Amino acid sequence: MPQTRRGLLIILSSPSGAGKSTLSRHLREWDPDISFSVSATTRAPRDGEVNGQDYHFLTEDDFKRQVAEGEMLEHAHVFGNFYGSPKGPVKAAIDAGRDVLFDIDWQGAQQIRNSDLGRHTLSIFILPPSIAELHRRLVSRAQDSDEVIAKRMQKSWDEISHWDGYDFVLVNDDLEATDAQLKTIVSATRLRRSQQPGLTDHVRRLQAEFEESK
Ligand code: ADP
Ligand code: 5GP
């Protein structure tokens, strides 16, 4: 059987607080071979965030220089700060047959889908069960000030309104159920024809065997 496979670009988007960081962590625990695309951002680190692990924290000048030099696969302005996905690590992982997970907004998802890596992309949008629950989760996460939470809630409709540009949409009500759905989607998409470059050779071999057996 063909062993080689091409890496997938797995994009998770949602309004802030719907659960994409939690789901993305669980997906990587399920398959530690999935690498995470560490974004660059100009926003300040939150308590506990580690430079190079959660984000590459950059000055606005450095961020803009990297964009100008074509080092970002995509980039966007979100909540008053710049965010972008560095291209180098993504290309390296995909070429080595490893999947890369992105926690990015709809603008980034759209840019990647329209890039030359678009056909290797799996995009998933996470919806909250209700707006009240979205607010509850933002508050319970206890990471942001009331002002930032209010800003994120205001922005949430902006993000939700782009739900229909994604391959799959999950309503993250019961966390275990959503975890399971996410794994099912990833497992199935790995079998997409475009992800299995070894298939052509395999079918050629089958054809040769078929001819021989006549
Ligand atoms: P995001 O990355 O989308 O901003 P998080 O993953 O940080 O969201 O989740 C926000 C909060 O909601 C966290 O405290 C998380 O533990 C909680 N949470 C995530 N999914 C669920 C769920 N299905 N049910 C209840 N709480 C959840
Ligand atoms: P946060 O500040 O909460 O970490 O992220 C805020 C928003 O920016 C989230 O919607 C997140 O998905 C998005 N985001 C994070 N990194 C990137 C990125 O590299 N590119 C884009 N387009 N959005 C990002």
User: Nearest 5°: phi and psi at 132?
Assistant: -65, -40
Residue whose CA is at the smallest distance from ligand 2 atom 12: 104
Give the span between the Cα atoms of 213 and 103, in whole angstroms.
51
Query: DSSP of the chain, one letter per residue?
Result: -----PPPEEEEE-STTSSHHHHHHHHHHH-TTSEE---EESSPPPTT--BTTTBEE--HHHHHHHHHTT-EEEEEEETTEEEEEEHHHHHHHHHTT--EEEE--HHHHHHHHTSTTGGGEEEEEEE-S-HHHHHHHHHHHT-S-HHHHHHHHHHHHHHHTTGGGSSEEEE-SSHHHHHHHHHHHHHHHTTSGGG-TTHHHHHHHHHHHHHHH-
**Dist. CA 184 → ligand 2 center (Å):** 25
What is the per-residue pLDDT for 214?
86
What is the per-residue pLDDT for 65?
98
What is the per-residue pLDDT for 180?
98
Largest pairwise CA distance in the chain: 75
**Dist. CA 121 → ligand 2 center (Å):** 18
Tell me which ligand sits closest to the C-alpha of residue 41: 2
| pLDDT averaged over 10-residue windows placed end to end, the chain, 214 residues | 78 95 96 96 92 96 97 93 96 92 96 93 98 93 82 90 97 98 97 92 96 92
179 lines ligand 2 (CB under 6 A): no
Give the span between the Cα atoms of 56 and 84, in whole angstroms.
10
Determine the residue of 78, 85, 112 to mutate for testing ligand 2's pocket, defined as the one with the most ligand atoms within 8 A of the Cβ atom: 78
**Dist. CA 198 → ligand 1 center (Å):** 38
Amino acid at position 146, single letter: D
Give the span between the Cα atoms of 166 and 29, in whole angstroms.
24
pTM score of the predicted model: 0.93
What is the per-residue pLDDT for 155?
87
What is the per-residue pLDDT for 2?
45
Q: Enumerate residues lining ligand 1, CB below 6 A.
A: 14, 16-22, 137, 140-141, 172, 175
Residue whose CA is at the smallest distance from ligand 2 atom 24: 104
Amino acid at position 65, single letter: R
What is the per-residue pLDDT for 80?
87
**Dist. CA 25 → ligand 1 center (Å):** 11
Q: Which atom of ligand 1 is nearest the CA belonging to 22?
A: 6
Q: Which atom of ligand 2 is nearest the CA belonging to 13?
A: 12
Determine the residue of 137, 151, 181 to mutate for testing ligand 1's pocket, defined as the one with the most ligand atoms within 8 A of the Cβ atom: 137
104 lines ligand 2 (CB under 6 A): yes
What is the per-residue pLDDT for 127?
98
Structural domains of the chain in order of their starting residue, each with its CATH number? 9-204 (3.40.50.300)
